[in-house]
Amino acid sequence: MTKRQKKNLYRILIAAVLMVVLHFVPLEGVAKGVLYLIPYLVVGGDILKKAVQGIGNGQLMDENFLMAVATVGAMILGEYSEGVAVMLFYQVGELFQSYAVGKSRQSISALMDIRPDSANLEKEDGSLEVVDPEDVPVGSVIVIKPGEKVPLDGQILEGDSFLDTSALTGESVPRRASAGDEVISGCINQSGLLRVRTTKEFGESTVAKILDLVENSSMKKAKAENFITRFARWYTPAVCIGALVLAILPPLVLGGGFGTWIFRALTFLVISCPCALVISIPLSFFGGIGGASRCGILVKGANYLEALASTGVVVFDKTGTLTRGVFQVSRVHPSQFAEEELLECAALAESYSSHPISQSLRSAAKKNLDKSRVSEVQELAGRGVKALVDGRPVAAGNLKLMEELGLQVTPCEECQGGTVVHVAVDGVYAGHILISDQVKPGAKEAIAGLKAAGVKKTVMLTGDAKDVADRVAAQLGLDEVHSELLPADKVEWVEKLLEQKPKDQKLAFVGDGINDAPVLSRADLGIAMGALGSDAAIEAADVVLMDDDPAKIALAMRISRKCRRIVHQNIVFALAVKAACLILGAIGIANMWAAIFADVGVMVLAVLNATRMLSKKV
């Protein structure tokens, strides 16, 4: 509790005790009123003062004024205990609101707090000095001890360790890091001592970028929030006018005393306070952004979280997003030999080549390849290689090479969508190996997850060849695929898709942030994945996935939908309770007590509902 909250708590307690005491004092009339003024002023003095100040400042409709009029009115009508009690409960509500909201704000902020406190700067004589990360120049050497946060981006000079990236990516499996590797600020060094040469200033480092993004996220307000603040602007005056009408009209029309009706009108004034309405919306979105960031999904604003929830079309870039963007041996079809033998043979023949295809053959062969087994290597540009392996002539390359050797090869049905390496040994066809870009594990489930989350259409745009693209699309179950596109074509396609989609749906583009910044900004919602350490992607996108797991897209959608549900629940609930109170107040069933309880109750439930966003279950 802050100092002010404590002071208010004491005032409430003193007033409450006085109330109980006064209950047993046998006094009537004016004397009773004067006595009740003591707890009233103790608990509500500041409200009265602020109400008077407010009138001076032209703030006629603020809460203080409304509460002052309502309670003073009750006192004048002789409802002393009522007047004091309403003020008392109003203050309890305010205190609770300030405490609860402060608490949940803190816990959400703590979730996003990845700021490193200090860095161990190594000086020229080898001694360490603890300094503020902001004071470390680029190129200096820092030491990160086990258990410490990495304070700045850099490259490891010495040491071996595991890095816990969960604060950034939500991924709980630690990453291995050793000399030569890049480290990213915000990770936690788990096991070994690391000496790191910094490559960025603090202001430019990953952690500063992310913090900046998160800090600013609540500045971009969602439509729902703007709606409710606009609503509050006319709601309060409207209810006040209603109160005035209620105080004057019924007694004139129906006859009878003004007393009851004025009392009911005062109840209206209590109900007209809009804070419970207004608070629940930003709190829910803030919780949503906080909950997402703990899963490694950074949302740059409440408006984007809102847009994500109504996404109907998701457009994917292929390489690096749905596929891993690395070439690997995916099939080995020997006509003779065993699979490993064929692979080893091809890898040996290509062992002197630096072509990516040769590299993937070598990494697939796994075994240590003894280069001394290979001789007379001939690289044939655009066709492949010929070499002697263990004294036997081996040729590895494309169909053209096989034709040159006079071998008849029928193209294999299964080996489509990649590069095929054919192998001939001793002048006889030995089989072929398919090398292709691999679909990311979990990509198919991710697409299915998006569909389940309510996405109507999934589209893939790629610069790759048609057969490769079609094969990947079929494998993943995508609705549409457009291949052989240049970067500019991708923008055009996104524009076309934007026109085609229904108005109430949003279009999201998912890319890896490399070369697709124009598309990311053209789409309603740009999602960059694998953005850890990529500044360009963090700048260009609206939603940033810190790792490159496609399942995170569906998770982000589920989080956004949950957030939207909670926002809607809070709006409907708060409005419904307010409306019910107004009706019950007008016909005299709900008195001021009920009204104030309703107000505090709605607020508490809205706050509790919003904190559901922090749970990991979606």
Partner 1 sequence: MKKTFKLIDLDCANCAAKMETAVKKIPGVKDATVSFMTQKMTIEAEDAQFDQVVKEAVAACKKVEPDCEVVVK
> Applying CB under 8 A, does 209 fall inside the site for partner 1?
no
CB closer to partner 1, 229 vs 419: 229
Shortest separation between residue 286's beta carbon and partner 1, angstroms: 4
Separation between Cα atoms, residue 521 and residue 493, nearest integer Å: 14
**Residue 504 known to be catalytic:** no
Say whether 368 sits in a helix, a strand or coil: coil
The DSSP letter of residue 149 is B
> x-or-dash pattern for partner 1, window 59-88, by CB under 8 A?
x--xx-------------------------
Tokens of 101: 């909201």
d(C-alpha 196, C-alpha 180), whole Å: 9
3-state helix/strand/coil string of 29-51: HHHHHHHHHHHHHHHHHHHHHHH
List CB contacts of 246: < 8 A, sequence separation 6 or more: 261, 264, 265, 268, 586
Bridge-based pairing of strands 194-198 and 175-178 is unpaired
Q: Which residues are CB-contacts of 439 (< 8 A; sequence separation ≥ 6)? A: 322, 323, 324, 472, 475, 476
Q: Which is nearer to partner 1, 404 or 539 (CB)?
A: 539
CA angle 206, 440, 435 (to 5 degrees): 120
The token pair at 481 is 């695929």
Interaction between residue 522 and partner 1 (CB under 8 A): no
Rounded to the nearest whole angstrom, what is the least distance from the CB of residue 281 to partner 1 in the complex? 8
- Judged by CB, which is closer to partner 1: 95, or 314? 95
Q: Is 215 in the site for partner 1 (CB under 8 A)?
A: yes
CB 274 to partner 1: min, Å: 5
Name which of 101 and 605 has its Cβ closer to partner 1. Answer: 101
CB of 596 to partner 1, least distance (A): 16
Residue 120's beta-bridge partner residues?
130, 143
Binding pattern for the stretch 91-120 against partner 1, x by CB under 8 A and - elsewhere: ---x--xx--x---x--xx-----------
428-457: contacts with partner 1 (CB under 8 A): none
Residues 380-419 that bind partner 1 (CB under 8 A): none
Whichever of 185 and 272 has its CB closer to partner 1, that residue is 272
List the structure tokens of 47. 């409200």
In the complex, the smallest distance separating the C-beta of residue 51 from partner 1, rounded to whole angstroms, is 11
User: For residues 233 and 466, which CB has a smaller minimum distance to partner 1 in the complex?
Assistant: 233
At which residue do the structure tokens 């091809």 appear? 346
Per-residue binding letters, 284-323, with partner 1 (x by CB under 8 A): --x-------------------------------------
By beta-carbon proximity to partner 1, the closer residue of 267 and 284 is 284
Among 36, 39, 42, 50, binds partner 1 (CB under 8 A): 50
- Could you tell me the CA-to-CA distances from 541 to 349, 392, 411, 520 in Å, in that order? 45, 55, 43, 6
User: Exactly one of 47, 283, 387, 508 binds partner 1 (CB under 8 A); which one?
Assistant: 283
Stretch that binds partner 1, among 278-286, 348-356, 439-447, 569-577 (CB under 8 A): 278-286
Q: Does 274 bind partner 1 (CB under 8 A)?
A: yes
**Contact indicator for 538, 554 with CB cutoff of 8 Å:** no
Q: Strand pairing of 311-317 and 506-511?
A: parallel
Cα dihedral across residues 331, 335, 338, 343: positive or negative: negative
* Cβ proximity to partner 1, 59 vs 569, nearer residue: 59
Token output for 304: 């984007």
Q: In the numeric block, which tokens belong to residue 564?
A: 């939207």
Q: Is the sign of the CA dihedral 44, 46, 49, 53 positive or negative?
A: negative
CA distance 273 to 278: 10
Of the candidate spans 50-58, 197-205, 324-332, 499-507, the one that interacts with partner 1 by CB under 8 A turns out to be: 50-58
Quick one: which segment of 52-60, 176-184, 253-261, 520-528 binds partner 1 (CB under 8 A)? 52-60
Query: Site for partner 1 (CB under 8 A): how many residues?
Result: 30
Q: How many CA atoms lie within 13 A of 196 on its CB side?
A: 33
Q: How far is the CB of 137 from partner 1 (least distance, A)?
A: 24
Smaller CB distance to partner 1: residue 120 or 236?
236
Q: Which of 1, 4, 45, 237 touches partner 1 (CB under 8 A)? A: 4
Supply the minimum distance, in Å, between the C-beta of residue 88 and partner 1. 18
Q: How far is the CB of 315 from partner 1 (least distance, A)?
A: 31
55 binds partner 1 (CB under 8 A): no
Q: Measured from the CB of residue 62, what is the shortest distance to partner 1 in angstroms?
A: 8
Where are the strands (E) in 335-427, listed by range? 374-380, 384-389, 392-397, 419-425
- With 0-12 / 13-18 / 19 or more C-beta atoms within 10 angstroms meaning exposed / middle / buried, residue 405 is middle
| Active-site choice (317, 464, 524, 599) | 317
Which helix (H) or strand (E) segment is 203 a member of?
Answer: none
**Total residue count of the chain as it appears in this document:** 618
Q: Which of 44, 73, 83, 282 binds partner 1 (CB under 8 A)?
A: 282
- Contact pattern for partner 1 over residues 216 through 245, marking x by CB under 8 A: --xx-x-------x--xx------------
Instruction: Pick from 53, 178, 260, 378 the residue near partner 1 by CB under 8 A.
Output: 53
Separation CA 95–CA 98 (nearest Å):
5
Q: Least Å distance between CB 133 and partner 1?
A: 20
Dihedral angle, C-alpha 10, 15, 18, 20, nearest 10 °: -100
d(CA 195, CA 564): 45
Binding range to partner 1, per CB under 8 A, among 185-193, 279-287, 339-347, 408-416: 279-287
Contact residues: partner 1, CB under 8 A: 2, 4, 50, 53, 57-59, 62-63, 94, 97-98, 101, 105, 108-109, 215, 218-219, 221, 229, 232-233, 274-275, 278-279, 282-283, 286
**Could you list the active site residues?**
317
